[in-house]
Amino acid sequence: MKWRTSITLGVVLLLSACTDLRSPTQTTTAPTPTPTSTTPKPPPSSPTANWVADATVLSGTAFGCGWGLAAGETRTGVLWNIMRTGDSVMLDEDIPNWPTDDIPYSGSMSGTSFVATYTLTPAGVCAFGGGTLSGSFSDDGLTFEALETLGWGPSERQVTVQRRWTGRRTQGS
């Protein structure tokens, strides 16, 4: 009989040690959740077109992607965002296609002349590698002329296209 009492007492002690019983007067407070923002961040704002330009393809060495790959092709009314600051210039071509298919050139100014580049590592179906843009603004700063050279594919078999651009400031810019 003693052994039953000993076993019963052992089981009671073991069970009471393994349970988390709290007296009815003891209260617990759940942690307050930290609020998280469900408002999405707005996308960066699109550049505003302040120039419009027309292009003529001067030459093309093979097939690439996009418009204007064969000599003689033209495109008119292309919107640009051009910002000149001191001896730096940013010329963003084809603003309606921002931010994926515009060409955001950056470069330097010397007087009214500029040289700008946009470089990518060729990848994807088109393997666009970027380009160079060189030209000049008119003395009054209201127009520009430029030569653009674009490249697609790896350097050992690169497709090259050259375009001549003439552009003018838009009204109010």
* The domain over range 51-169 is classified in CATH as 3.30.70: no
In the 3-class helix/strand/coil scheme, how is the chain assigned residue by residue?
Answer: CHHHHHHHHHHHHHHHHHCCCCCCCCCCCCCCCCCCCCCCCCCCCCCCCCEEEEEEEEEECCCCCCCCCCCCCEEEEEEEEEEEECCEEEEEECHHHCCCCCEEEEEEEECCEEEEEEECCCCCCCCEEEEEEEEEECCCCCEEEEEEEEEECCHHHCEEEEEEEEEEECCCC
pLDDT above 90 (res 164): yes
Give per-residue pLDDT as tens, 81-115.
Answer: 999 999 999 999 999 999 989 999 999 999 999 99
Give per-residue pLDDT as tens, 130-160.
Answer: 999 999 999 999 999 999 999 998 878 889 9
Which pLDDT value is given to residue 30? 59
- Structural domain boundaries in the chain: 51-169
Pairing relationship of beta strands 103-110 and 88-93 according to DSSP bridges: antiparallel
Rounded to two decimals, the pTM is 0.73
Which tokens sit at 60? 């093309």
∠ CA(161), CA(162), CA(166), 5° rounding? Answer: 140
Cis check: omega of the bond before 99, within 30 degrees of 0: yes
Which pLDDT value is given to residue 124? 84
